[in-house]
């Protein structure tokens, strides 16, 4: 258990946790470490990532965050996939809907300590922002914190895909084409990206059942931050998280054994253990 003395809270996580993650990344030996923070939707990945960057800057280091959510394919690219492969691929998020060449180019630039611009995705508009609006970093990075809901997750065995596990898969993917395609993309295209992460931290929830509530809180915060713009309703969100359920359950199964550090959370996102 995490001791009570661990406590000064900064945006929901103990300050010491960010310090430990920072020390772990800097101890990797990489010239420009990439610290990956993985965790299911709403688990606090971006909060911890921001805290790590803040602590790094307090030490005089130049650090930045990159989210897997900011490198989704554009809507036009997903529309093409929806026409050519499966209609469900219009929806951002599952494996196969990310611009992996863009991520690798960003990591190459960071490793070479070159100036770079970090992409940003507008979730309410469901579109990547124009490159002219991406924040630009002119100084060489000393640390990149990469966060995302399934970083480090391996593909499932094909035999595990036979039966649908929720209403979305049953009603919209009855033949399994979508889930097989996403799983093949996960096994084929993403391991090279995972290998570029020098440290992997996993924020582990008690189970998948907390994700709809956590993601709804996230959606409400997103909409509150941009008044006048409309996001998802609760029923729409309940369906949306079903797109992520299969890979999320795979992450829960696999990542505790693969991650360098596991932060065990309860249903209120309070830390129960650090392994």
> Once rounded to an integer, what is the mean pLDDT over residues 124-151?
96
pLDDT of residue 9: 33
pLDDT of residue 108: 98
> Is the pLDDT at 130 greater than 50, yes or no?
yes
Query: What are the boundaries of each domain within the chain?
Result: 4-274
pTM over 0.75: yes
Q: Residue 246 and residue 238: Cα distance in Å, rounded?
A: 14
Q: Residue 265 and residue 275: Cα distance in Å, rounded?
A: 12
The partner residues of 39 in beta bridges, in order of sequence, read: 203
Confidence of residue 11 (pLDDT cuts 50, 70, 90): very low
CATH code for the domain defined by 4-274: 3.40.50.300
Are 47 and 11 in contact, with CB atoms under 8 Å apart?
A: yes
DSSP 93: S
> Is the pLDDT at 10 greater than 50, yes or no?
no
Please give the mean pLDDT across all residues of the chain: 93
pLDDT of residue 231: 78
Confidence of residue 191 (pLDDT cuts 50, 70, 90): very high
pLDDT of residue 136: 96
User: Greater confidence, 81 or 225?
Assistant: 81
pLDDT of residue 7: 28
Confidence of residue 12 (pLDDT cuts 50, 70, 90): low
Three-state DSSP class for residue 59: coil
Confidence of residue 75 (pLDDT cuts 50, 70, 90): very high
pLDDT of residue 189: 98
Between the alpha carbon of residue 180 and those of residues 93, 161, 171, the distances in Å are: 15, 7, 15
Region of 36 (left: φ > 0; alpha: ψ -120 to 50; beta: rest) is beta
């Amino acid at each position: 258990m995490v001791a009570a003395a661990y406590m000064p809270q900064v945006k929901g996580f103990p300050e010491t946790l960010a310090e430990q993650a920072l020390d772990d990344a800097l101890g990797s030996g990489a010239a420009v470490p990439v610290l990956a923070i993985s965790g299911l939707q709403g688990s606090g990945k971006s909060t911890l990532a921001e805290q790590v960057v803040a602590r790094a800057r307090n030490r005089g280091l130049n650090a930045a965050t990159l989210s897997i959510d900011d490198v989704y394919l554009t809507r036009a690219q997903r529309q093409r996939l929806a026409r050519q492969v499966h209609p469900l691929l219009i929806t951002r998020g599952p494996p196969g809907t990310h611009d992996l060449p863009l991520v690798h180019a960003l990591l190459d630039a960071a490793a070479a300590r070159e100036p770079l611009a970090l992409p940003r995705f507008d979730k309410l508009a469901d579109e990547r922002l124009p490159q002219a609006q991406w924040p630009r970093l002119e100084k060489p990075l000393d640390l990149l914190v990469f966060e995302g809901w399934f970083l480090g997750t391996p593909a499932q065995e094909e035999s595990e895909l036979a039966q649908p596990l929720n209403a979305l898969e049953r009603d919209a993917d009855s033949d399994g084409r979508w889930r097989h395609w996403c799983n093949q993309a996960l096994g084929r295209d993403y391991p090279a990206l995972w290998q570029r992460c020098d440290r992997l931290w996993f924020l582990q929830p008690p189970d998948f059942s907390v994700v709809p509530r956590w993601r709804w809180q996230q959606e409400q915060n997103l909409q509150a931050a941009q008044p006048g713009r409309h996001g998802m309703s609760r029923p729409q969100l309940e369906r949306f998280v079903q797109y992520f359920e299969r890979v999320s359950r795979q992450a829960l199964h696999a990542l505790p054994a693969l991650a360098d550090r596991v932060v065990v959370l309860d249903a209120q996102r309070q830390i129960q253990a650090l392994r």
